[in-house]
Structure 1
């Protein structure tokens, strides 16, 4: 890959990029056909057991999460036969059984997937399905503040909080990570009120608390974080500002506040929890990709820098992305753990050795590649591809592993739907031209489903150029 650093438009250059995309499309096809053969209609695949998997956040009913999550990736890669099978299932078989689901997970995977693909493909059926899903979830928003409860039964309409959350409270990262999808649906009018209610809650030390009261604009416990429980809320502030054509100034102001706080911390590695009477602990969690501060391995810093011309933001993004790369290469599998413990100056240990096929690090590589054209990000991405093939591939799909420090680690027997929706999509886009989903026209939701930026895309059946594989 190194010779590509010149970014020359030669026949050899395009041939090698075509080879990489072909390899990635083959990985997608292997994951998809394994799911179709052994778990069709289930939410996810167990590749070792060769059976369906029903993650608790999506309930126990087979809702086809992998199908809805994967359809835009199949379309991007030109896997038309597989795409048509997914489209047919959504049109004929997607329904809402008597099951309890996470409002957040259902929004980013199902509503997000359907909305984004309706924008890309111009099939009204996808928009109609998304509207149907949102209507099924609306009772969760029937609270005094409009801040939703975390769980809802799609048939009985009974809504409730997570068992682990304080009574009467919702998680900030979940309640605050719905507005971009809902803003795109004209019949849902509660979005602005939801974020306004969150914005009115007191913020000690400038941070929102992780649990917010849906009965009144207040917080539930004195716990703040810029990582898990809060991260995607900050991500969506930035992305909704971009998606709105930079007209949503409230979103930008709230996002800038979080960066101001981040800029006053010494360490960028990678997360901060604060509790009264306790010292600060710095560490990285894989899932934290999208906190604007210490999480998304660089991606959100880099994206934010392109929209406020801040070289400081961009350099932070580059440093955090490099930290994540080093964490990957420090393990025997060349895959990153769920959690790494740091001091302010050095890596200390792996605290959680599992790898769930997560996309956050390759997403950062994607943003850094788009903004710099530095070939190292393509090289780093291909190292991930090699590691996935060596450590996670099975005869029936791909599986997460239990110990990234051990080559040949036992597998966890789950092919997560986000592996097809996010991980493989971002890897494919790294080796594609910028004309495929350009960042000045599209913004990705937290499940990697693209939404058109207002005023930048004329929606229609031929709006989306595809690269052949």
Structure 2
């Protein structure tokens, strides 16, 4: 080993490197300088970049940056498109649907639309699609004419919103958008939106949280069917109309009020079971179906539970009025020896049945099915249903029969319960057809000039009178004609169009071009009110409901023409500085306003007018059925927005 040079050592024939000499002083200085520069740059990043400077530490700073990028990500990639046509209005993304603004660049719309459709096509090819669980969502609302954008938030956030997704489907209902191809029709629809803004904005300004607005006095109306209790009836009643019209900032404000303030626990007064059901429960259930937001479902269930003591009777026929705080119940003193009213206890089935399906609580459906059983089995004079039944005995009261007030929506709900069930509830349809056969035989009349009408009947005597409320029947008969072919199909359509024409005449024969509360059919006074007490108009929507339904079913342009005539009359005689008011006499040139903006004006009148001037795809009659307050409820088996647990 001593013979081997230290600079030329070998191992197995390969040279072994000599040990490295220590760094020279210059090399050490250079390495130290590089290390110092690296430390300076690294520390400077945290000291001088504002997005990373945080008192809560590095981890929170990076989390904040990540969330900002996450929120902005979709818009950085592709701008959000407007809503327009059905397919562009409801783009699928993980079973979620987004509604978009209508004022963005159409070229960007086309790019995004094509990309999303391509993604959707690829997803549909994959048959192994997992059911998406309930997820917590944060809803972000943008500018006044904007849309609701739902996005998944992986961690707990403030104002958590939990939603139930729609059923998996190849087609999802159009709930926003739905513009008609005709520009003139689109302009008319925009006018309806302006009317809604006028009614809503002034309610917000002068009566927020109260039930209704006095648009002349500019204050809350405290003598409504809900009294002075701050139940926000206009908010709950008008909320789905706001959503369908795309007024989602207003919708957000209404939702926030419901979340924080809608509470029946301390309301120490008697309220109408019927009105609470069709306006509050119906309105909340409609918003739940449209959005999947469980707040609306849960609030509806809480309110429905408050009504249950009204059903604790020997027959199961509920009382008309309930004190939701104490549970005490009673009927109206004027209602035929304190009987319950047919149109009230018969107008619960749509809401209670749907509520059971989405909550898995059978009690609600059991209550209305029992009512059905009682009224089906009781003897009926001439096959007709009188307007009064005593809740203790199950006996009929006065034999007063009407398709107007006190009777109307009982028949409507027989037909619509069958439709809502996906046409499975055959008993409801059979009861409806049998009842209408008796009505046509004993109550359908034709005036000397050829006007068809359904007269009231009292103890076998015709009253030769028809209520404005009965004008809904044109739409009802139209639906019965188009949804089932039987021996009455043609008769239903003939009567539907006849009723629509008669109600139009009641409007047209008044000075204000608005119909009175009821009108007679006697020589020289056809479709006109005679008594002063019948000459008022309180923003009733039933005739427009018929126009809308028959337009959808027949496409006869006269129904849109007649609907626009109503708009013109409302603007001329009912528009006030702070909303819309009824009038006291439709037969004078300058009628006095009654100073009440009814909550159903927003729920029914403006919704039906808006849909009358929309494409048929928007809230399609093949997918939705309207309750008596015009709140759309999904049809089981035909609408993935049913969101039922079964």
Normalised to the residue count of structure 1, the TM-score between the two structures is: 0.91
SS of 1:267's equivalent in the other structure is strand
Q: Spell out, residue by residue over 1:303-341, the C-alpha distance to the aligned partner (whole angstroms, 9 max, x if none).
A: 110122312211211111011112211111111111111
The correspondence for 2:301, drawn from 114, 131, 152, is: 131
Give the structure, 1 or 2, with the largest relative contact order (CA under 8 Å, sep 6 or more).
Answer: 1
The correspondence for 2:457, drawn from 274, 289, 292, is: 274
Q: Residues 38 and 254 of structure 1: is their aligned pair in 2 closer, same or farther, counting only changes over 3 Å?
A: same
Residues paired across the two proteins, number: 444
SS of 1:57's equivalent in the other structure is coil
CA distance in 1, matches of 2:455, 2:334: 21
SS of 1:63's equivalent in the other structure is coil
Q: Spell out, residue by residue over 1:18-76, the C-alpha distance to the aligned partner (whole angstroms, 9 max, x if none).
A: 21111110000000001110011111000111111134522331100000000000011
Contact 1:122–1:460 under 8 Å retained in 2? no
CA distance in 1, matches of 2:624, 2:254: 23
SS of 1:138's equivalent in the other structure is helix
Structure 2 residue 328 is the aligned partner of structure 1 residue 158: yes
Contact 1:228–1:288 under 8 Å retained in 2? yes
The correspondence for 1:66, drawn from 214, 234, 240, is: 234
The correspondence for 2:414, drawn from 205, 212, 237, is: 237
SS of 1:437's equivalent in the other structure is coil
Aligned to 1:303: 479
Aligned to 1:257: 434
Aligned to 1:75: 243
Alignment of 1:45-64 (within 5 A): 45-64=213-232
| RMSD, aligned CA | 1.9
Q: Residues 101 and 452 of structure 1: is their aligned pair in 2 closer, same or farther, counting only changes over 3 Å?
A: same
CA distance in 2, matches of 1:12, 1:72: 20
The correspondence for 1:104, drawn from 274, 283, 293, is: 274
Q: Spell out, residue by residue over 1:148-191, the C-alpha distance to the aligned partner (whole angstroms, 9 max, x if none).
A: 00000111111111121234520111011111110112222312
CA distance in 1, matches of 2:560, 2:527: 28
Aligned to 2:512: 333
Q: Report which stretch shifted further, 225-234 or 371-380.
A: 225-234
Q: Residues 264 and 154 of structure 1: is their aligned pair in 2 closer, same or farther, counting only changes over 3 Å?
A: same
SS of 1:451's equivalent in the other structure is strand
CA distance in 2, matches of 1:457, 1:328: 36
1:348: Cα distance to partner?
6.2
CA distance in 1, matches of 2:271, 2:255: 23
Q: Spell out, residue by residue over 1:251-298, the C-alpha distance to the aligned partner (whole angstroms, 9 max, x if none).
A: 11111012211332451543333333x6322222112234xxxxx2x1
Alignment of 1:6-17 (within 5 A): 13-17=181-185
Q: Residues 12 and 245 of structure 1: is their aligned pair in 2 closer, same or farther, counting only changes over 3 Å?
A: closer
Contact 1:72–1:449 under 8 Å retained in 2? yes
Could you list the runs of 5+ residues in structure 1 that have no partner in the other structure? 1-10, 291-295, 462-469
The correspondence for 1:224, drawn from 397, 401, 407, is: 401
Alignment of 1:24-423 (within 5 A): 24-96=192-264, 97-167=267-337, 169-186=339-356, 187=361, 188=364, 189-265=366-442, 267=445, 269-276=452-459, 279-290=461-472, 296=473, 298-309=474-485, 310-343=489-522, 347=526, 349-351=528-530, 352-423=534-605
Contact 1:161–1:167 under 8 Å retained in 2? no
Q: Spell out, residue by residue over 1:385-426, the C-alpha distance to the aligned partner (whole angstroms, 9 max, x if none).
A: 111001100110000001111122000000000000000000
CA distance in 2, matches of 1:456, 1:157: 38
SS of 2:519's equivalent in the other structure is strand
Structure number with larger C-alpha Rg: 2
CA distance in 2, matches of 1:169, 1:201: 15
Q: Residues 139 and 14 of structure 1: is their aligned pair in 2 closer, same or farther, counting only changes over 3 Å?
A: same
CA distance in 2, matches of 1:46, 1:305: 40
Q: Residues 345 and 365 of structure 1: is their aligned pair in 2 closer, same or farther, counting only changes over 3 Å?
A: farther
CA distance in 1, matches of 2:503, 2:471: 10
CA distance in 2, matches of 1:65, 1:230: 24
CA distance in 2, matches of 1:315, 1:460: 33
